[in-house]
Amino acid sequence: MSVLGPGDLGETKIHANRKMKGYLVLEDGLVFEGYAFGYPRAASGEVVFNTGMVGYPESLTDPSYRGQILVLSYPLIGNYGVPEPASANGVATAYESEQIQVQGLVVSQYSFAYSHWQAAKSLADWLIEEHVPALEGIDTRMLTKRLREKGTMLGKILISDENLEFYDPNTENLVSMVSVKYPVLYEGGKTKVVLVDCGSKNGIIRSLLARGVTVIRVPWDYNFLHENFDAVVISNGPGDPTMCPETVEHVRKAMEENYPIFGICLGHQILALAAGADTYKLKFGHRSQNQPCIEVGTQRCYMTSQNHGYAVASQTLPSGWEPWFVNANDGTNEGIRHRSRPFRGVQFHPEATPGPVDTGHLFDEFLTNI
């Protein structure tokens, strides 16, 4: 005997959804035909792929995906539904922000029937609620290979006879769209850390609070130097780090004051810019939960969670700085640190969510510098 969960849908609804065709159009002219299962509207953005096997609720709510159409290369998506929104200490426990951040979603096979003890709704229902379009029935293996060979490119999801211009999110300051608009205080302990919110994942806040730290979350362009704090964390976020000159300048001044600083993902790139190094756009980026990173000077390799399209040019690091981690796959920079001062940054996500927590100890190491 089989037991149907709350997400098991009848054949009528499945067939009704599969009759609505949709198309993913790439800027190089390639068109993929599939079926709509999200909100029935057109959307455009930068098409990127993620090779993770799980974690779509976290990925969809990650602000680093702002302006992007997300392709999930794992073939079956939606089988465990979507959890109920919940929070602790004012921070969402299941999501990485308060809304879905992607422009659209593309998958190979969508599971209309879901089953999980924490599931509150289907992925399709969630996408429809938040007006996010999605396509299934797409050959995501071929699409991913195309993006790897030719590089990340612009694209658009078209439903029915709609049309839409291509949209390049990298021409805009995406960080200003996802950052908080005013400072937010999370009480946690005697030590006070300023979190420069460039599109911060909730996992960073949860990681700091779990270590007994009070977090002062400030907007990306906020001059936090007049606040009472002990250290600085620069968060992840979307787009090109050179679009955040105000953040770079504030971090540079914090370095002059010798505050301990820890940059994560985009925050790592901003730290590098503040130090005087350069950044550049990767061909197709790193988006997965299985990126191997080697700690320089050791034989230790960590499995990491990543989501970024830009990287630090190691050869441009000024005197006093050194590479800390490198990607074992392509040799790109995955971390920097100052040889004598308390400044360090990593390209990957030590807070994970989703992904392995192998590098969670980096938060502890950072806090010992305070």
Annotated catalytic residues are 265, 349, 351
- β-pair partners for 149: none
Distance (Å, whole) CA 81 – CA 42: 24
Handedness of CA 276, 282, 285, 286 (dihedral sign): negative
Q: At what angle do helices 245-256 and 266-275 cross, to 10 degrees?
A: 60
CA distances from 207 to 26, 72, 160, 262 (A): 38, 26, 44, 13
Is residue 179 classed exposed, middle or buried when 0-12, 13-18 and 19+ CB atoms within 10 A define those classes? Answer: buried
Alpha helices in the chain (DSSP H): 11-18, 56-60, 123-129, 140-150, 175-178, 202-209, 245-256, 266-275, 361-367
Handedness of CA 291, 193, 238, 316 (dihedral sign): negative
Distance (Å, whole) CA 114 – CA 75: 15
